[in-house]
């Protein structure tokens, strides 16, 4: 059973490496083609290659009693109270 598993895993790894190389060759070809024919498309493709940046703020807040707030006004109000509490916190005691 272990021998069979190892053979299948090796086969899967080989297939995955082959597919990865094929995908990368295809992307390189597309980039070279775009660079020659349309530089704007080339740079647009380059920009989209990297990891995507999350720009959305999570609009849900878990309250102290365990419920979840989804309404924008409620979430903003909760954030406001949290920051007010942070600003009112007593200064740390100096240890001498």
Q: What are phi and psi of 40, to 5 degrees?
A: -65, -45
**Residues 79, 80, 85, 88: is their CA dihedral positive or negative?**
positive
Q: Is the pTM of this model over 0.75?
A: no
**pLDDT one digit per residue (tens) for the chain, 96 residues:** 889 999 999 999 999 999 999 999 998 888 888 888 888 888 888 888 777 776 677 788 888 888 898 888 988 998 898 888 888 877 777 765
- Secondary structure (DSSP) of 59-76: --EE-TTS-EE-SHHHHH
∠ CA 41-42-47, rounded to 5°: 95
∠ CA 57-60-65, rounded to 5°: 145
């Amino acid at each position: 059973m272990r021998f069979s598993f190892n053979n299948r895993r090796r086969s899967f790894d080989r297939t995955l490496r082959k597919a990865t190389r094929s995908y990368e060759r295809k992307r390189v070809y597309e980039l070279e083609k775009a660079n020659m024919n349309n530089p704007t498309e080339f740079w647009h493709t380059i920009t989209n290659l990297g990891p995507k940046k999350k720009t959305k703020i999570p609009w849900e807040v878990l309250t102290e009693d365990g419920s979840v707030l989804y309404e924008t006004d409620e979430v903003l109000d909760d954030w406001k109270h949290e920051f007010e509490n942070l600003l009112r916190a007593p200064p740390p005691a100096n240890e001498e």
